[in-house]
């Protein structure tokens, strides 16, 4: 049933594209322009730098200034705090990508990973200030930022309660992560580009 529905939808989309080729072409151009002009330069450098930080063992150094607040307010472990900061500063999908990788490498527990997934996926400040604000009333800047980031506080409390995460049980016995054995710029670049293409 699902396959037949998917097939019908695909055929309808194809027919619509053939019926309005100029509209399809215009939409594709705008989409690629947005991806290459905004999404790619905004996210790719952060993805590569994030991989280098993890490989070099720089997670504690980056998290150190924010660690007391993130642990007491959000209840995240050191590695969980890095995931949260990555999602906060770099935006979607960096938070989800880092969360999945840290879970696979055994750097965070499953409960904390689920909690982080709920609060680490939102637009980055660079995207909001560089792209959204270009078409937004400059006087509404503070309201825009508050509407995006302020809900993270109640959402994090709700997620911690739901998944049973606290500052006491967020400490996770870490295994040696594959990424910590060395940093390959080529591998990090290919991994990042693969994620960018999926976007």
pLDDT in tens, the chain (199 residues): 667 788 888 888 888 888 888 888 888 898 888 788 877 877 788 788 887 888 778 888 888 888 888 777 787 888 888 998 888 888 888 888 889 888 988 888 888 888 888 888 888 787 777 767 666 666 777 787 888 888 888 888 888 888 777 655 555 444 444 444 555 667 777 777 777 777 6
- The candidate with the shortest Cα–Cα distance to 84, out of 65, 52, 126, 112, is 112
What pLDDT is recorded for position 183?
55
In this predicted structure, what is the pLDDT of residue 179?
A: 45
- The confidence score (pLDDT) of residue 172 equals 45
**pLDDT number for residue 124:** 79
Handedness of CA 118, 124, 129, 135 (dihedral sign): negative
**Sequence-separated (6 or more) residues with CB below 8 Å from residue 177:** 54, 102, 105, 106, 107
pLDDT at 184: 65
What SS3 state is found at 99? helix
Do 100 and 137 meet the contact criterion of CB atoms below 8 Å apart?
no
> Contact 183/56 with Cβ under 8 angstroms?
yes
Structure confidence at residue 175 (pLDDT):
45
Distance of CA 122 to the CA centre of its chain: 7
């Amino acid at each position: 049933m699902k396959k037949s529905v998917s097939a019908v939808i695909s055929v309808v989309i194809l027919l619509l594209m053939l019926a309005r080729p100029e509209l399809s072409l215009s939409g594709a151009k705008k989409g690629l322009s947005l991806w290459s002009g905004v999404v790619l330069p905004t996210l790719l450098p952060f993805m590569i730098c994030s991989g280098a930080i993890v490989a070099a063992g720089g997670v504690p150094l980056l998290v150190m200034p924010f660690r007391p607040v993130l642990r007491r307010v959000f209840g995240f472990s050191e590695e969980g705090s890095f995931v949260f900061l990555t999602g906060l500063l770099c935006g979607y999908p960096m938070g989800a990508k880092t969360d999945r990788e840290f879970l696979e490498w055994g750097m965070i527990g499953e409960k904390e990973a689920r909690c982080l997934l709920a609060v680490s996926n939102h637009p980055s400040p660079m995207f909001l200030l560089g792209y959204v604000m270009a078409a937004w009333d400059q006087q509404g800047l503070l309201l825009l930022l508050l509407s995006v980031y302020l809900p993270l506080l109640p959402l994090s409390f709700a997620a911690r309660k739901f998944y049973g995460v606290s500052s006491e049980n967020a400490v996770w016995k870490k295994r040696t992560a594959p990424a910590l054995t060395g940093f390959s710029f080529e591998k990090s670049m290919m991994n990042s580009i693969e994620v960018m293409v999926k976007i």
